[in-house]
Amino acid sequence: MHKRGTPLALLLLCTLTGAPSWAPAQEARPGASQRPPAGGAHPMHQRGPKQFSLANSAGARATLWKPDLGRIPLAIDNGILTLKGTGVDNYHALVIEQDWGYLVESIISYHYMRGKPSGRSTTELTAARKTRLEIVPQPVPREHHQYETGERWGFQVRFDGRPMAAQTLTLETAHGTTLTGISDAEGRIDFTFPDDFPSLIRGERNRTLAAFTLSTRHLAEGTEYISHLQGEYRPNPRHWRSLGLGVAVAGIGFAAGGLLTGFGRARREESA
């Protein structure tokens, strides 16, 4: 039952199949193969349908926004939502709304789908007004990339399509970190994704995904609006990549290049 002043979202979206999405993060087994199974289970190459479970979904409406801003209503069957490919590639926006009259709650998430080239920019999708209160990634991580720990990413909060200044936003991660910030005059706010993955071993790759939710709320005309942006982030490769060693190896290459050209020149001069 929804009540005024509810501190957190009541709608809850969890992945059942497909690429890991909003489910609690699972750590990869150390030393486990990073090779995707046949058929390409790399998140960006997922072609099969994804299924989500929705808690407290009574009265919720789900809509899939295509890259060309076409909309497809999705059925929620006993709290299960199936997201099938639309035949075109690029980011799609899954928008779930629940209107209780005094409380309107929404969840937006962006999903990359494979298919024929859409020829449309994700900028169009993020610019479109999908709900009255909306948190918009600026930008969405580019195709084949994801949010990573330690990276600073921008978001904009809008109401009726207009930027909202001085709006409080809360970022919560599956690993228990909570960050709060206030939007600037353009409704923009930047968050640095926390380096909060447990069990990271320095030098070992960890491609685990974990969910995050960015939330805000606004009271207008006697109705409370709550909006969430959901997504995933992963550990920064800096945990298993060394810049210092990279510079050192490049330096060795530089020295080798100098020696090689020097010897080559000496040899040519000798033979001449």
Stretch that binds another protein, among 29-37, 78-86, 93-101, 217-225 (CB under 8 A): 29-37
Stretch that binds another protein, among 71-79, 115-123, 178-186, 191-199 (CB under 8 A): 115-123
Under the criterion CB under 8 A, does residue 2 sit at the interface with another protein? no
Nearer to another protein, 4 or 35 (CB): 35
CA distance 133 to 89: 27
Q: Which stretch binds another protein (CB under 8 A): 78-86, 118-126, 164-172, 184-192?
A: 118-126
Q: Which of 66, 69, 70, 64 is nearest to 82 (CA)?
A: 64
Kindly state the helix (H) or strand (E) to which residue 255 belongs, with its residue range.
helix 243-271
Output the smallest distance, CB 20 to another protein, in A.
17
CA 120/CA 239 separation, integer angstroms: 35
Of positions 10, 118, 172, 230, contacts another protein by CB under 8 A: 118
Q: Residue 206: how many CB atoms within 10 A of its CB?
A: 18
Question: What is the closest distance, in whole angstroms, from the C-beta atom of residue 31 to another protein in the complex?
Answer: 9
Q: Any contact of residue 251 with another protein (CB under 8 A)?
A: yes
- Report how far residue 27's alpha carbon sits from residue 230's, in angstroms, rounded to the nearest whole number: 20
- In the complex, what is the shortest distance from the CB of residue 121 to another protein, in angstroms, rounded to a whole number? 5
Residue from 71, 165, 255, 263 in contact with another protein (CB under 8 A): 255
* CA–CA distance, 67 with 121 (Å, rounded to integer): 7
Q: Tell me the window of 10-18, 112-120, 186-194, 219-227 that interacts with another protein (CB under 8 A).
A: 112-120
Cis peptide, bond prior to residue 235, ω within 30 of zero: no
Q: Which residues of 148-174 are buried (b: 16+ CB within 10 A; e: fewer)?
A: bbeeebebbbbbeeebbeebebbbbbb
Least gap, CB of 195 to another protein (angstroms): 15
Stretch that binds another protein, among 4-12, 129-137, 211-219, 242-250 (CB under 8 A): 242-250
3-state secondary structure 8-70: CCCCEEEEEECCCCCCCCCCCCCCCCCCCCCCCCCHHHCCCCEEEEEECCCCEEEEEECCCCC
The number of CA neighbours under 13 Å toward the Cβ of 94 is: 26
Does 188 bind another protein (CB under 8 A)? Our answer is no
Contact status: 270 vs another protein (CB under 8 A): no
> Which residues are at the interface with another protein (CB under 8 A)?
33-36, 38-40, 42, 45, 67, 90, 117-123, 139-140, 142-145, 203-205, 237-238, 240-243, 245-247, 249-258, 260-261, 264-265, 268-269
